[in-house]
């Protein structure tokens, strides 16, 4: 059974803290994605990675960074959390072969609250 796991389901942090969200997939997928989900806005792409140590900005990268040191793990970093980063964060992965044909596999999400 294929799996994308995220380190926490719920997280509460204070303004200014550094926050790490971890995502691990066991499908040997090359591509991994971080989205944030807000009501009425759908899923918006923050960053994605198509290989180890490779990354590209998505639509809303400001205030975030990412790290991919191993193929199976993709981390999202909030350098200095702010209240407007309170959101649901979803990680996903997909293969490269087949390109745009492939569906993405999602983790259960992390609901982050920044106080």
Is 108 among the residues that bind another protein (CB under 8 A)?
A: yes
Is 1 among the residues that bind another protein (CB under 8 A)?
A: no
Q: How far is the CB of 83 from another protein (least distance, A)?
A: 22
Nearer to another protein by Cβ, of 37 and 67: the residue is 37
Residues 53, 29: Cα–Cα separation, whole Å: 14
Binding-site member from 15, 65, 82, 96 for another protein (CB under 8 A): 96
Is 106 among the residues that bind another protein (CB under 8 A)?
A: yes
Is 95 among the residues that bind another protein (CB under 8 A)?
A: yes
Q: Is 41 helix (H, G, I), strand (E, B) or coil?
A: coil
Is 103 among the residues that bind another protein (CB under 8 A)?
A: yes
Give contact residues for another protein (rule: CB under 8 A): 9, 31, 33, 35, 40-45, 48, 50, 56, 88, 90, 92, 94-96, 99-109, 111
């Amino acid at each position: 059974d294929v799996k994308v796991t995220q380190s926490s389901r719920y997280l509460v942090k204070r303004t200014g803290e550094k926050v790490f969200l971890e995502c691990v997939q066991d499908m040997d997928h090359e591509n991994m994605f971080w989205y944030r989900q807000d009501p009425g806005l759908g899923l918006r792409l923050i960053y994605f990675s198509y290989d180890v140590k490779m990354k590209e900005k998505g639509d809303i990268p400001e205030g975030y960074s990412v790290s991919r040191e191993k193929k199976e793990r993709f981390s999202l970093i909030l350098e200095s959390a702010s209240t407007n980063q309170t959101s649901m964060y979803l990680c996903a992965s997909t293969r490269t072969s087949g390109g745009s044909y492939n569906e993405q596999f999602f983790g259960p999400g992390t609901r982050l609250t920044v106080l």
